[in-house]
Amino acid sequence: MPAVGASAGGPLLAVRSLTKLFGSFAACNGIDLEIQPGEIHALLGENGAGKSTLVKMLFGVLAPTSGEIVWKGEAVRIPSPGAARRLGIGMVFQHFSLFEALTVAENIALSLSPGISLSKVADEASRLSHLYGLPLDPKAHVADLSVGERQRIEIVRALLQNPELIILDEPTSVLTPQEADRLFETLDKLKTEGRSVLYISHRLEEVQRICDRATVLRHGKVTGACDPRKETPASLARMMVGSDVASVSTAGTNTKGDVLLEARHLSVPARTPFAVALKNVCLKVRGGEVLAIAGVAGNGQGELFDALSGEYPAADASAVFIRNKPAGNLGITARRLMGAGFVPEERHGHAAVPSLPLSDNLVLARNQSDRRTFLGGGVLGIIKHAVVRLASRRISETMDVRKSGDDPAAGSLSGGNLQKYIVGRELDRQPSVLIVNQPTWGVDAGAASRIRQALVDLAKSGSAVLVISQDLDEIFEVATEIAVISEGRLSDAYPAHALTREKIGLLMGGMYGKTEGEEVAHAH
Amino acid sequence: MGIIEAILLTVVTAATPLVLASLGELVSERAGVLNLGVEGMMVMGAVLAFAATQATGSPYIGILAGIACGALFSLLFGFLTLTLVANQVATGLALTILGLGVSGQIGEPYVGMSGVKLQPIVIPLLSDIPFIGPILFKQDLIFYLSIALVFGVNWFLFRSRAGLKIRAIGDNHASAHALGIHVIRTRYLAVMFGGACAGLAGAQLSLVYTPQWVENMSAGRGWIALALVVFASWRPWRLLAGGYLFGAVSISQLHAQALGLGIPSQFLSALPYAATVIVLILISHNRRMTLINTPACLGKPFVPDR
C-alpha cells in the first residue's frame, strides 16, 4: 500500500507487513502503516477488523507473529507497554484500564517510573490537566467519577510520559457530543505541539473532522489509505465495510396503536454503590412505535432494562404496565407470558449460555411462554428436541444466522450472528412488546442493519418496541420517538424527526429545562 | 498477677496466630489470589517448626523452619493456580487437606513429646508499666513480629509503590498487565508472603500456644483467619482488632470452664464460628464499604493473551 503524502522528515512510526496470528486466524494480516510527526492519523475499521490487535502490538501488549515496527527510522521490538512508553508511545484505552478502587493520583502513579512520590504525581497531574483543559481531582476515587472524567485520567496519564505518539482507542464512544468537542480541542493542542495521534474510530464524521490521514482496515488487512477530508462518508464506509450497507427502511411505521408498554413514575433505588437510581421514569410506547432511549453509558440504562423486564421487579405493581395490566412487581417469566419479549445487553452469560447449543438456549428463554410447544409430558416438562430444533432452524434462517453445523454452542458464533439469533429468538414469538438493550453493540455493520430492520418490521406489524442504545446513528435509523436518559432520569419523548444530535447531546448532559422554549430544529 | 491480667495474656496468645495467618492471606487476597489453604499451610508450619526445634534445640531455628515451610507449601499452590491456572478454590481446599495429612505423617514421631517453649523477651522499662507492661512488653518474638507486621503491611499496601501495584493487580489484573506490571510474578510473591505468615502462625502454635505437637493442632484457626480477612474488609488495622476479638471469643471457653460457669464447652468452642457468621451478616449490610475494599479480581485466574 503506497503511503499518501509522506513528509520529507520521514515518518515517526512505520509498520511494515505486520501480522498477528491467533492459531490459524489472522487478526492482522500484513499491515502497512505510516504516521508522520504532528499529524492526527485515523485508524478506521469495523469491530473485528483488527484495529485493537494492531494497536496492542504497537503498545507492546501483544507480540507480533511477523513483520516490522520502525520507530524514527529504526526497527524496534516492543516487548512490553513499559518499553513502548520508554520509546515515547502513550496509549488511552477504550475500556477497563483504570482501577476503580484506587484514587486518580494512584492510578496515574502506577504508569510512571518508580521513585516519584504520590504527592508529586498529584501536583503534576493537576498542572497537566489544567494545561490541556481536562480538570481532575487527584484525590477522587475512580469509582465515583463519570466516564468522561475517567477518560481524562487516561489522557493525563498518557501525557505525563511526554509521549511523541498518543494512541486513542475509540475515545468518543463513551462521551457526550459536548465532551467529544472538548476532547477534539485537546487533540488539536497536542498536534500543534508536534505530537502525533493515532485515532482509532469507526465514526466517519469525527474522523473527517479532525484527522489528517486515515488508514482503513477490514478483516485484518489494509483496504485503503487516504485523506479523510477528500473522501465522502459513503466512500469511507465502502472501504470499511467492503460493500454498501443496506439502509433500514422505516416506511409505514407511523400508524399509532394502543399504548402497550407504560412506565408510571417508576423509581428504583440503586442496588449497589456503582449503580444508578431510577428517578420517576415515565414512558409510553404505542403499538407501531419504536421508542429509542439515548444516553451515555452508565446513566441508568441497565437499571431501566432490569425494571422494565422484571429482572429486578419494582415494589409497586403500577409502576409498569404491559398491555394495560399492572406488571411492575412481576418477574420476567410472568411478563413474558403477558406478551413481552426481552433482549438484554450482554450476549454471553446473560442473553445466552455460551457453552450450551442454540436449541438449549432457545428452551431456556421460552420454556414458559412456549410451554405447550416445546415441553411435553405434563408436569415432567420433557423437552421436545425435534420441535425445538425446528424452531431454532427457523430462527436462524429468518435472521440469516451464519454458524458452523446445525446446532453449535452459542459461544462459537461471532458476536453479530449470536446477537441476530438472540433477537430472532424473541421476534419468533411475535411479542406485542419488545424491549432491547444495546441491540447492536459490538456487532458488524451487516448484522446491525439486519437487526435494526427486524426491530422496525416488528413495530410495523403493530407491536411496541423499546430500544435502549448509545449509538445515535442507530437511534436515528430505527426510532419513531426518542427520549434521553441521564443520571436515572428520563426526558420527555420527542418525535425522532424533531430532534437534532445537539439537542440529544444537551439532554444527555441532563439539561432539560434549559432547552425548553427553544426552537426544535429538524434533524434531516 | 491479677485474674484479668492473666486472661488478657491468654487472649494475646490466642489472637497472635489469627492475626498472623489472616495478615498473610490479606496480602494474597489484595493481589487477587484467594488461598483457602491457610489451614494446611499453618499446620505444616507448626509441625516443621516443632521438628526443627527438636532437632536443633533452638526455637528460633524452629520459627525460621515454620516460615520457610509455609512459604514453600504456598509455592505449590502458586504453581498450580498461577502457572497452571487451576481453580483457586479447589486447589486451596486440596492444599488444606494435603497439609493436614502430610503434617500428621511428619509429626507422628513427635506426638507426646514435650517441646521447647519460646521464651519471652522482656523489654526493659516498658515492661514495668503496671498492667499493660506484662501483657504487651513481656512477650515472645512472634508476638512482636505480628504487631510489627500489621504496621508494616499497612504502610506497604497504602504508602509504597509496590503495595499500590498489589492493590492494582487485585482490582483489575488485565489493566495492570497492560500497564506493564508483572501480574503473575507479583501474585507469586504475595502468595508466598501469605504462606510465610501462615507458617509463622503455625510455629506460634507449636512453640508458644501449646509447646508440643498434636495432630490437626491448627484446629480450624486457618478458617477463622480467612473469615477474619473479610471481617476486616481487607484492611490491616481492622484485621488487628478483629483478630483480638476472635482470639478473645475462642479463649473464653477455657476460662468459662476454669471459672466453673455452667456453659457447655461445645457451645463455647462453636462461638468463634458463630461470631464469624454474625460478623459476615453484619458486614454484608454495608455494601459500599465492602465493594470498594473488596479486590475485584479476587479468585479470578489471569492468563496474559500472548
Assess whether the region A13-241 and the region A259-515 belong to the same CATH fold. Answer: yes
Residue A4: pLDDT above 60? no
Backbone dihedral angles phi then psi of residue B59, each to the nearest 5 degrees: -65, -20
Q: What is the pLDDT of residues A147-157, one digit of tens each?
A: 778 888 888 88
Q: Please tell me whether the overall predicted TM-score, pTM, comes out greater than 0.90 for this model.
A: no
pLDDT-above-90 percentage for chain A: 38
Smallest Cα distance from A369 to chain B, Å: 36
Q: What is the pLDDT of residues B86-128, one digit of tens each?
A: 999 999 999 999 999 999 999 999 999 988 999 999 999 888 8
Q: What is the pLDDT of residue A516?
A: 40
Domains of chain B, CATH where assigned? 3-293 (1.10.3470)
Smallest Cα distance from A275 to chain B, Å: 11
| Residue A252 binned pLDDT confidence (cut-offs 50, 70, 90) | low
- Give the number of other Cβ atoms within 10 Å of residue A521's Cβ: 10
Residue with cell 476454669: B258
- B172–A98 C-beta distance less than 8 A: yes
How far apart, in whole angstroms, are the C-alpha atoms of residue B39 and residue B62? 19
Q: Which residue of A has its CA nearest to B293?
A: A101
Residue B275: pLDDT above 80? no
Choosing among 3.10.310.70, 3.40.50.720, 3.30.9.10, 3.40.50.300, the CATH entry for A259-515 is 3.40.50.300
Average pLDDT over residues A143-169: 84
Strands A320-322 and A325-326 come out as antiparallel
Q: Which amino acid is present at A336?
A: R
Strands A259-268 and A74-76 come out as unpaired
| ipTM of the complex, rounded to two decimals | 0.79
Out of A82-86, A146-150, A156-160, give the one with best mean pLDDT. Answer: A82-86
Please state which CATH number belongs to domain A13-241.
Answer: 3.40.50.300
Q: Which residue of B has its CA nearest to A117?
A: B161
The cell numbers describing B57, all together, are 534445640
Domain range annotation of chain A: 13-241, 259-515
- The answer to which of A274-283, A366-375, B274-283 has the lowest mean pLDDT is B274-283
Smallest Cα distance from B288 to chain A, Å: 5
Selection from A346, A442, A417 nearest residue A47 by Cα? A442
DSSP structural state of residue B54: H
Average pLDDT over residues B159-167: 92
- Give the number of other Cβ atoms within 10 Å of residue A232's Cβ: 11
Residues of B in contact with A110 (CB under 8 A): 164-165, 168, 176, 179, 181
- B180–A81 C-beta distance less than 8 A: yes
B126 contact A CB<8A:
no
Residue A167: pLDDT above 70? yes
Residues of A in contact with B287 (CB under 8 A): 272-273
How far apart, in whole angstroms, are the C-alpha atoms of residue A360 and residue A411? 12
Q: Which of A61, A102, A111 sits opposite B171 (nearest CB)?
A: A102
Residues 6+ apart with CB under 8 A from A425: A361, A362, A365, A366, A395
Q: What is the pLDDT of residue B288?
A: 62
Q: What is the pLDDT of residues A215-244, one digit of tens each?
A: 988 878 898 888 888 887 777 777 776 655
Between residues A378 and A280, which one has the greater pLDDT? A280
Residues of B in contact with A59 (CB under 8 A): 178
Q: Which residue of A has its CA nearest to B290?
A: A273
The neighbouring-strand residues paired with A262 are: A284, A321
Chain B interface mutation, best of A95, A99, A113, highest count of B Cβ atoms under 10 Å: A99
Q: Which residue of B has its CA nearest to A112?
A: B179
- Give the number of other Cβ atoms within 10 Å of residue A471's Cβ: 18
Q: What is the pLDDT of residue A270?
A: 84
Q: What is the pLDDT of residues B14-61, one digit of tens each?
A: 999 999 999 999 999 999 999 999 999 999 999 999 999 999 999 999
Residues 6+ apart with CB under 8 A from B189: none
Mean pLDDT score across all residues of chain B: 90
The cell numbers describing A322, all together, are 404491559
Count CB pairs under 8 A between chains A and B. Answer: 67
Selection from A322, A464, A347, A335 nearest residue A416 by Cα? A347
Average pLDDT over residues A283-294: 92
